[in-house]
Amino acid sequence: MTSLMDAITGADSGAGRDPRFPHAPEGWTPTAALEAARTESLELGADHWEALRALQEYFARHEATAANLRELHDALDEKFHHQGGIKHLYRLFPGGPVAQGCRIAGLKAPAGATDKSFGSVA
């Protein structure tokens, strides 16, 4: 039986885009996400991967325009409403579902997601 991490990183061969992450930015891999999460003291589970895919999909759909923090926050809250919305995402990403999630998903967080004097705010 294959473990969750083996299933996530199994297609991470570097040859083309991983079909489980069709909206991933160029050069991003699940292994890179695991390494980024490890530096932030997070252990990624199935819910984390679902949130990372949602972030990557949002950014892919809005690639022609700059990602809007408020719209992204609201879209995530709506997408994960059945699991508790944004509160659920803050449990997954205590450093902020947008700021920390974007770092792990290989994305540039929208303006206002972090405050250098305070830390993550979204």
The separation between CA 106 and the C-alpha centre of its own chain, rounded to angstroms, equals 8
3-state class percentages of the chain: helix first, strand second, coil last, to nearest 5: 50, 5, 45
Determine the Cα–Cα distance for residues 86 and 73; give it in Å rounded to an integer: 8
CA 17-19-20 angle, to 5 degrees, is: 120
Range of the domain at 104: 24-110
Answer yes or no: is 30 within a domain.
yes
Determine the Cα–Cα distance for residues 56 and 22; give it in Å rounded to an integer: 8
Answer yes or no: is 116 within a domain.
no
Answer yes or no: is 19 within a domain.
no
Q: What is the pLDDT of residues 48-104, one digit of tens each?
A: 999 999 999 999 999 878 888 999 999 999 999 999 999 999 999 999 999 999 999
pTM: 0.81
Answer yes or no: is 98 within a domain.
yes
Answer yes or no: is 84 within a domain.
yes
Number of domains in the chain: 1
Answer yes or no: is 5 within a domain.
no
